[in-house]
Structure 1
Amino acid sequence: MSNRFRISDLDAGGTVGRRETQPEGWRALLAVRRGDVPGFLRSLSFLLPAVTLIVLLLLSLLNTRYHHEQVMGSLESHVETSARQADAYLNDLSKLVEGAAERLADGGAEAPSTYLPNAEQIRVIPFTSLGIADRNNKALEALRHLERDLLRRAVEQQQLILDAFGGDNGWQLHFAQAIDPGRVLLATFSVSALQAGLSRSANPEVIKTELLYRQHGGWKSLASRGQASASGAQAEMLLRDAWLVRVTMDESRYQTLTRRNLPLYTVAVIALLATFSQFIIGLLQLQLQRRSAQREAEARARAAAQADAHQDKLIRAAFDHREQEDEPVLELNSGSFDEVLDSLDLSDDLDDSDAFIGGVTTAVEVEDTIFRAYDIRGIADLELTSDVCREIGKALGSELIEQKQRVTLVARDGRNSSPRIRDALVEGLRWSGVAVVDLGAVPTPVMQFATRELGIGNGLMVTGSHNGREYNGIKMVIRGSSLTEEAIFGLRERIRAQSYIEAAVPGEYSNRSIVDEYIDRIKSDVVVARRLKVVVDAANGVTGPVAPRVFQALGCMVEPLFCELDGDFPNHEPDPTRPGNLSALQAAVKAKRADLGIALDGDGDRVVFVTGEGDTVYPDQALMLLAQDVIARNPGAPVVYDVKCSSHLPRMINEAGGLPIMCRSGHSYVKNQIQESGALLGGEFTGHIFFRERWYGFDDGMYVAARMLEFLSLSAMRLHEHVERLPQSVVTPELSVPSDEVQKFVIIEQLKSTNFFEGAEVSTLDGLRVEYPHGWGLVRASNTGPALSLRFEADNAGQLANIQARFRDALRAVDPTLALDF
């Protein structure tokens, strides 16, 4: 069949029926064609105010820069003078202390105060070969923990040690110098003289001079002169690695000195308004010209159309006459028509409604069940394939870019699937333009430490945590906070919608080692006062190469157990909260006569302790001991715990003078609650314990073990004796009842909507925690697997059995298929 076209169906460009839609309103005003630009520019008078505006702005910037350099030069001169004075004062004190120690070593008969008349306190401390661990040295009992550590360093390094820390009278300078092998001189000075030595500013009401001291990773202000309400400009100079002099100018004064361009700015604003007005006027003039030309063209078109209509009649008559005579007609068969369409440029008419910024629709199927309450987790070879992990990397990369984050850390554990997952994840991140710093195979706490130490704030850990070898997952930190349910489910929705951001250039990739810095940081913070023997069970996880080094650096005798990295976990699963996984450690602790057994999970953020008698210390019991230690130094401090912890824990926190705060189970929830409440300590029954006193507030099994060693080294009692003094009750470990990823939530909601526990106090913070006068029970949907999680505690076995029976009846009523073996 032929397809006939009239000549009038084809426009001058050779296309069929194409019409250009004319813009309206502001679109029409701004629709300047390329050919119009030269005339547009020639017709405008805004070029002069535009040039004036540019010149004024340049002058303003140069003027501001000149005054800024003047201010900074003055501040740098001031800080240099103050630094010289402070350094000279510290040198003078150091020489006085060294001289006093030499005179005392030579047998000087005068009192030590004769040599150090300006000291607030002078003490000569006898020191034996046992050092600060000598329990018979009564002189050490009156010293604070920091003073003991000062003495230890003076003896070990055989040189003058200077430190600064606060006391009842504010900040003080402390010097320690070994006199001879049996004595150490400890001298304390006020910082008032040091404050007087700081250079006085000519304008103390707007210039503040400070002397700061580095302590626990931050700077503490020891002395200052002058005042500044807000920081406008600063100059700093470092002294002796740990001292810093800072000079700050008040914000208002800085603005006064540097913002002297008001007249220029006023003229610039006027020029800008004039430029904008002329620009709009020029656009309006151009549109009037175009509309006039358009009307003339339409008139010519109408005249041409009339002529074409007459010509069309003549052509039709000619075609009809030729058809009647069986002569060939003008036709296009279907093949030639397709060729004509292919030759035409129709790109301007394509519908871009299916276009996708940063990606195209993918056929990769991603299981919803891998997105958990505080991480991504699934069976590595089935649910976390390379394609799936690449999509997760794109989603995470896009999320980072949207939050103005351009770099992230990446680390992995020792599982066999972790390198593959890491590689796919990195590929997706770099596709989105995120730079990746690879820390290698390190524990999760080391990755968390790196986010703080390197100042990056973003970190991704490829780990299956405490789960079996067939599992793996991803723990995520963005801008210093662990991702929880809402953010993780947001990643799932982003993958579903393919809402990605693709970078024009892939993000960079680099490697970084951080383990040595991590160990040095713990060593600088924790003091183990006497030599302890520990057995470390790393469960063949990623802590194996790191944990023994940490405890050796603290001076402990370390017996490693299953510390060889093996992704098959040949000895036992990497979950220390399961009693069966602790049998080898319990036996080793007793056989080696160790003071402590330390069990770590697969990635090192969980820890469980074993006493020297071979007994397990539940994590909430460990939290009781550590809470008493922390609150003793910080009265009123909040302590966070999860719903699975013993009811004795909040009572002990209250009795110690602290503030107990219960939260949902899950390390991300506990960590975020600690940040929100300002708590110095927190933990959950699964072994995640968080220190914010002297540490960073994330769950770190190795650091928690180091603090437990410090606690034990300063006590005359062994760990089992401390545990025996805690309130006693009959408790169960965390119990697991198999379910599925959907049904477990249905069961919890059904329990909440019934009256199975009438008469008891029920908390629905996380599942159901049912409190009775003599005990409690908990059932909740597990965050880490297809199961229900339960735990029970009571004053005696009979009451425990009664509570468990009530829970069994309730669970069977809502789901008779559950296998209840408790």
Structure 2
Amino acid sequence: MIDLSRIVKAYDVRGTVPDQLNEPVAEALGRAFVQTLRSRGEFADKIVTAHDMRASGPALAEAFAAGARAEGVDILDAGLGSTDLLYYASGALDLPGAMFTASHNPAQYNGIKLCKQGAKPVGEDTGLAEVRERAQAILDSGERVAEGELKGTIERYSLLERYATHLLKLVDLSDIRPLTVVVDAGNGMGGYTVPAVLGSGLPLTIIPLYFELDGTFPNHEANPLEPANLVDLQAKVREAGADLGLAFDGDADRCFVVDERGEAVSPSVITAMVAVRELAKEPGATIIHNLITSRVVPEIVREHGGVPVRTRVGHSFIKAEMARTGAAFGGEHSAHYYFRDFWGADTGMLAALHTLALLGGQSAPLSALAKDFDRYAASGEINSTVADTAAKLAEIEESFGVPVDKLDGITLSFTDGSWANVRPSNTEPLLRLNVEAPTAERMAALRDEMLTVIRR
């Protein structure tokens, strides 16, 4: 019997196909999602679905739809789409949504990202735990949906053109200088959405890398946070003399940027740059950043008259804080970017449009623009396997004797402005370390000191 606690986690559903996630599981989750919405008074009579390019996506989406239809719900099947296209559909149509994707995970995985009407997140504390319990009970009963029980209808409708039109209304690129842009879609959904958004009518020359949709990821993993997955993009930017490069993850909700030299631009820097644009539109606005973004983000926000708000890592926490504060924009160091004018949801494509508008609106290269926002040395995230994460966190806190906050894991603050955050993984026996310091030398020393304690 499948144990759903292994695949229904804090933010979404993620598992290997077919042993952990298969059609009976998807069907049970479809029924459970509808039941949960009803139990919370958040029910609509229609759900919108989409899936990425993974081979298992259409069958899983069809099974989920059957479960929802058995509960009397109509399905609007958007077919192929990126995760932010599904969020657009949920927001623009005011419908709950289900996106079938495993994001950057390897080919044998698939998953489901659920949202309520208006692209509001469904996390463990906002319904996902209830979905898991209800679906587990359905699975344990062995009950399956018969053809005659499909009370709801299913309608197939592409939303790609409407999605592209909406994004291009949010950022004006009509007056930018001509730019050459290399885009690495990693055989993921960027290969579907980038041509629709950036492919016509703009002063952009797009050089595509790996736009062929292929859920086996034959060229490299679709995870641009891993430096090895940026090598081809960086080489192509330098070879073509391009102005910048963009890399999308598998479901194209994250966007990573490299400059004209092929050097990676930190997502914290992109967060700060976009924040400045949002604050120019709305002086005094609130800007969200998670606790592992660079200290430059709150500094830049304050310097431009905004209000920075620090949150835990994870999209459900960011989105909840966006809703609570009415924030205009939020960014994470994982290259997730959230916009109030996109229903508070994350969209890598909109962050890319802002970056293109900023770069194309003046004459300096991206490296020069980014330099003004790049003030500190960062370690990047380093994972360590730890048998007892709680005990190790207590040991770290005791070892350093500096001020600690516990918003997410523990963050240690040092008198020279350096900081280190150590937080446990939600799904594995891992501790994740991030370190930042005023100099590269200090960062390396603190990083190594932290790792010594974590791994001893």
Output the TM-score relative to the length of structure 1: 0.52
Q: What does residue 401 of structure 2 align with?
A: 759
TM-superposed CA distance for 1:754, in Å, is 6.7
Amino acid at match of 1:389: A
Q: What does residue 491 of structure 1 align with?
A: 131
TM-superposed CA distance for 1:660, in Å, is 0.8
Of the candidates 288, 293, 303, which is equivalent to residue 655 of structure 1? 303
Is residue 443 from structure 1 mapped to residue 88 from structure 2 by the alignment?
no
Is residue 461 from structure 1 mapped to residue 106 from structure 2 by the alignment?
no
C-alpha offsets along residues 630-687 of structure 1, whole Å, 9 cap, x if unaligned? 2123221111011111122211211111111111111222122111111101010111
Cα distance in 1, alignment partners of residues 397 and 433 from structure 2: 19
Cα distance in 2, alignment partners of residues 603 and 754 from structure 1: 36
Q: What does residue 792 of structure 1 align with?
A: 435
Q: What does residue 426 of structure 1 align with?
A: 65
Secondary structure of the residue aligned to 1:490 is: helix
Residues 664, 468 of structure 1: CA spacing in aligned structure 2 closer, same or farther, 3 A cutoff?
same
Cα distance in 1, alignment partners of residues 4 and 433 from structure 2: 26
Structure-to-structure mapping, 1:53-72, within 5 angstroms: none
Amino acid at match of 1:710: A
Cα distance in 2, alignment partners of residues 505 and 570 from structure 1: 38
Q: What does residue 618 of structure 1 align with?
A: 266
Residues 367, 522 of structure 1: CA spacing in aligned structure 2 closer, same or farther, 3 A cutoff?
closer
C-alpha offsets along residues 167-222 of structure 1, whole Å, 9 cap, x if unaligned? xxxxxxxxxxxxxxxxxxxxxxxxxxxxxxxxxxxxxxxxxxxxxxxxxxxxxxxx
Q: What does residue 314 of structure 2 align with?
A: 666
Residues 378, 612 of structure 1: CA spacing in aligned structure 2 closer, same or farther, 3 A cutoff?
same
TM-superposed CA distance for 1:810, in Å, is 3.3
Secondary structure of the residue aligned to 1:728 is: coil
Of the candidates 149, 156, 163, which is equivalent to residue 511 of structure 1? 156
Cα distance in 2, alignment partners of residues 754 and 563 from structure 1: 45
Cα distance in 2, alignment partners of residues 423 and 585 from structure 1: 35
Q: What does residue 115 of structure 2 align with?
A: 477
Q: What does residue 245 of structure 2 align with?
A: 597
TM-superposed CA distance for 1:750, in Å, is 4.7
Structure-to-structure mapping, 1:343-354, within 5 angstroms: none
Of the candidates 507, 523, 528, which is equivalent to residue 168 of structure 2? 523
Q: Does the CA-based 8 Å contact 1:462-1:475 persist in structure 2?
A: yes
Cα distance in 2, alignment partners of residues 392 and 584 from structure 1: 38
Q: Does the CA-based 8 Å contact 2:4-2:136 persist in structure 1?
A: no
Residues 695, 405 of structure 1: CA spacing in aligned structure 2 closer, same or farther, 3 A cutoff?
closer
Cα distance in 1, alignment partners of residues 133 and 16 from structure 2: 21
Secondary structure of the residue aligned to 2:298 is: helix
Cα distance in 2, alignment partners of residues 541 and 727 from structure 1: 30
Q: Does the CA-based 8 Å contact 1:543-1:603 persist in structure 2?
A: yes
More displaced stretch, 606-615 vs 660-669:
660-669
TM-superposed CA distance for 1:727, in Å, is 4.0
TM-superposed CA distance for 1:376, in Å, is 0.9
Cα distance in 2, alignment partners of residues 639 and 615 from structure 1: 26
Q: Indicate the structure (1 or 2) with the bigger Cα radius of gyration.
A: 1
Amino acid at match of 1:782: S
Q: Does the CA-based 8 Å contact 2:66-2:150 persist in structure 1?
A: no
Secondary structure of the residue aligned to 1:760 is: coil
Amino acid at match of 1:590: R
Q: Does the CA-based 8 Å contact 2:181-2:244 persist in structure 1?
A: yes
Cα distance in 2, alignment partners of residues 801 and 584 from structure 1: 27
Cα distance in 2, alignment partners of residues 472 and 810 from structure 1: 36
| Aligned-CA RMSD value | 2.2
Q: Does the CA-based 8 Å contact 1:400-1:406 persist in structure 2?
A: no
Cα distance in 2, alignment partners of residues 749 and 658 from structure 1: 38
Cα distance in 2, alignment partners of residues 675 and 784 from structure 1: 26
Q: Does the CA-based 8 Å contact 1:762-1:770 persist in structure 2?
A: yes
Q: Does the CA-based 8 Å contact 2:60-2:100 persist in structure 1?
A: yes
Q: What does residue 351 of structure 2 align with?
A: 704
TM-superposed CA distance for 1:786, in Å, is 5.4
Cα distance in 2, alignment partners of residues 792 and 557 from structure 1: 37
Cα distance in 2, alignment partners of residues 434 and 534 from structure 1: 43
Amino acid at match of 2:76: V
Q: What does residue 49 of structure 1 align with?
A: none
TM-superposed CA distance for 1:574, in Å, is 0.7
Is residue 401 from structure 1 mapped to residue 43 from structure 2 by the alignment?
no
Cα distance in 2, alignment partners of residues 667 and 757 from structure 1: 31
Of the candidates 181, 195, 219, which is equivalent to residue 548 of structure 1? 195
TM-superposed CA distance for 1:785, in Å, is 5.3
Of the candidates 235, 246, 254, which is equivalent to residue 606 of structure 1? 254
Residues 786, 459 of structure 1: CA spacing in aligned structure 2 closer, same or farther, 3 A cutoff?
farther
Cα distance in 1, alignment partners of residues 429 and 250 from structure 2: 20
TM-superposed CA distance for 1:796, in Å, is 2.4
Secondary structure of the residue aligned to 2:18 is: helix
TM-superposed CA distance for 1:498, in Å, is 4.2
Of the candidates 349, 357, 365, which is equivalent to residue 2 of structure 2? 365
Cα distance in 1, alignment partners of residues 362 and 181 from structure 2: 16
Q: What does residue 730 of structure 1 align with?
A: 377
Residues 603, 399 of structure 1: CA spacing in aligned structure 2 closer, same or farther, 3 A cutoff?
same
Residues 391, 695 of structure 1: CA spacing in aligned structure 2 closer, same or farther, 3 A cutoff?
closer
Amino acid at match of 1:396: F
Secondary structure of the residue aligned to 2:398 is: coil
Amino acid at match of 1:476: L
Cα distance in 2, alignment partners of residues 676 and 515 from structure 1: 30
Q: What does residue 367 of structure 2 align with?
A: 720
Output the TM-score relative to the length of structure 2: 0.91
Amino acid at match of 2:28: E
Whose relative contact order is higher, 1 or 2, with alpha carbons under 8 Å and at least 6 apart?
2
Q: Does the CA-based 8 Å contact 1:438-1:509 persist in structure 2?
A: yes
Amino acid at match of 1:534: V
Cα distance in 1, alignment partners of residues 235 and 383 from structure 2: 26
Cα distance in 2, alignment partners of residues 674 and 389 from structure 1: 30
Q: Does the CA-based 8 Å contact 2:36-2:130 persist in structure 1?
A: no
Secondary structure of the residue aligned to 2:152 is: coil
Cα distance in 1, alignment partners of residues 392 and 32 from structure 2: 34
Amino acid at match of 2:358: F
Of the candidates 14, 17, 41, which is equivalent to residue 377 of structure 1? 14
TM-superposed CA distance for 1:448, in Å, is 0.7
Of the candidates 274, 278, 282, which is equivalent to residue 634 of structure 1? 282
Of the candidates 747, 758, 767, which is equivalent to residue 389 of structure 2? 747
Cα distance in 2, alignment partners of residues 614 and 767 from structure 1: 34
Amino acid at match of 2:12: D
Amino acid at match of 1:780: R
More displaced stretch, 776-785 vs 643-652:
776-785
Q: What does residue 588 of structure 1 align with?
A: 236
Amino acid at match of 1:531: P
TM-superposed CA distance for 1:477, in Å, is 0.4
| Structure 1, gaps ≥5 residues long | 1-363, 817-822
Q: What does residue 359 of structure 1 align with?
A: none
TM-superposed CA distance for 1:506, in Å, is 2.2
Structure-to-structure mapping, 1:8-157, within 5 angstroms: none
Secondary structure of the residue aligned to 1:378 is: strand
TM-superposed CA distance for 1:397, in Å, is 2.2
TM-superposed CA distance for 1:505, in Å, is 5.5
Q: Does the CA-based 8 Å contact 1:401-1:434 persist in structure 2?
A: no
Cα distance in 1, alignment partners of residues 251 and 430 from structure 2: 22
Of the candidates 733, 757, 768, which is equivalent to residue 410 of structure 2? 768
TM-superposed CA distance for 1:777, in Å, is 1.3
Residues 755, 451 of structure 1: CA spacing in aligned structure 2 closer, same or farther, 3 A cutoff?
closer
Of the candidates 685, 695, 703, which is equivalent to residue 333 of structure 2? 685
Cα distance in 2, alignment partners of residues 802 and 400 from structure 1: 50
Is residue 413 from structure 1 mapped to residue 56 from structure 2 by the alignment?
no
The alignment-based identity, stated in percent, is 33
Of the candidates 781, 804, 813, which is equivalent to residue 424 of structure 2? 781
Equivalent residue pairs, number: 443
